[in-house]
Chains A and B, each alone.
Chain A
Amino acid sequence: MKIALPILFILILAIIQITFASKLTVFGVRPNFVLAGLFVLLIFTKNFWDIILAAVIGGLIYDWNDYFFGLNAVVLILTFLIFWFFGKKYIVSRHFLPLLIFSIFGTAVFNLIYISLSYLIFHYNFFDYFLSARQLLEMGLNGLTALVFGSPFLVITKFKRV
């Protein structure tokens, strides 16, 4: 049951992303729900393999609706690994601040890896987006999205402490 929860959480977010997310845009920019959800899991769950599995499932759903099959799953896993091995040690407590910082910088890392790989492997050039103001907007949006999705977990953590 515990394994199913992170997967279910990411599955729902991925379905929302491919269906309704285009209606939730700010200046044409959509938040990345699965990425934000992964950072919520990164901060609030402990099981490494649960999150990897959730990243694979979220990534594959993205891939079925995107140009390059497999790329989203790979990039989501890489981003998660970077933050798990190099970032997790800096998390002192389950607080909204690490969630916000991780999701903002995580967006930049995810987009950079995605754009680089799509350019190197598939010769698609999305660097214009990465260097535009919309990239900054997406970072902010993902930060807010992670806070929204993470708020129930934050509340639960607070209650557990009490």
Chain B
Amino acid sequence: MMIAICGFLFFSIGSRKSSAANQGFVSQIFSPVRAYFLKAADSIADIFSGLLNSKNLKEENEKLIFQNRTLKSILNNYLEMKAENTALKEALKIKEQKNFEFILANVISRSPLNFSQSFTINQGADAGIKTGQPAIWAGQVLVGEVRDVSKNTSEIRATSDSEFRAAVFVGEDRTEAVLKGYGLEPAQLDLVPSQARVIVGDRIITSGLDKKFPRGLYLGEVKDVKVLEGKVFQKILVEPPLRWDELEEVLIIK
């Protein structure tokens, strides 16, 4: 026993010089295992600290959810303001060009049945809206006219309504015509002589000759042209630039 202890001491003293190198070698071999154990220990520690701090975590989670909702609401406000800003900028451009005065209004409801094509806006007589005023959107697109006004709301007849009429110019030749709404069917151009040159894709704008709408408001493009034999007028279908039932805001020209 004594001999073994002495031998071990002798060996350890003798090999002290190379102990640093041995230690490096051992730590290299065991380092992945050590890292694994460290990780596992950390995870276990996290679990325990999580369990101990669960109340704090819950509170923090609730706080973050609240913050997230607040930020979403702020973002929503920002997007609303951005949309309104774009619309007003567009209106300002038209105002500078044509000297129009506008009232910005939100669409609050739409006609329930398939017959009449109309919608209600949240501005009425108090804001200066009168019957017959044109409603526009997306630049200078005519979307309808004010049909009925109450104190705080107004009803807008869309250009596709079967009672809607507007004097228009068609194409580069500026052929005069009357645009008629046909409900769910595409609007048509009436009173275009069969000799007149109208082609698919021709732009349709208000002529102002009916003294109802200002000149130059856009109403759409020619979708289809049919020259019927023996008929005095052509049958022309119109493609509207936007759908009235998807509008959320409109500008009423004063």
Contacts and interface: CB of A to CB of B under 8 A. Distances in A.
B183 A22 contact: no
Contacts of A124: 115-116, 162-163
B64 interface: no
Contacts of B185: 128, 132
Name the prevailing secondary structure of the A interface residues: helix
Contacts of B162: 124-126, 128
Interface centre among B147, B162, B184, B245 (most CB of A within 10 A): B184
A66 B148 CA distance: 11
Contacts of A115: 115
B111 A66 contact: yes
Interface string A1-43: 0000000000000100111011101001110101000000000
Nearest to A124: B163
A17 B112 contact: yes
Given A22-B245, A124-B162, A124-B163, A29 B184 contact: yes
Interface in B153-170: 155, 162-163
Interface string B230-248: 0000000000000001100
B114 A65 contact: no
Interface residues of B, number: 20
B110 A19 contact: yes
A128 B112 contact: no
Q: Specify which of B109, B115, B116, B245 lies most central, judged by the most chain A CB atoms within 10 Å of its CB.
A: B115
Contacts, number: 73
B120 interface: yes
Contacts of B184: 28-29, 129, 132, 134
Given A124-B162, A124-B163, A66 B113 contact: yes
Q: Identify which of B110, B114, B147 gathers the most chain A CB atoms within 10 Å of its CB.
A: B114
Interface residues of A, number: 31
Contacts of A153: none
Contact of B111 (A23, A65, A118, A128): A65
Cβ-closest 3 pairs across A and B? A22-B245, A18-B109, A126-B115
Interface in B91-125: 109-116, 118, 120
Nearest to A68: B116
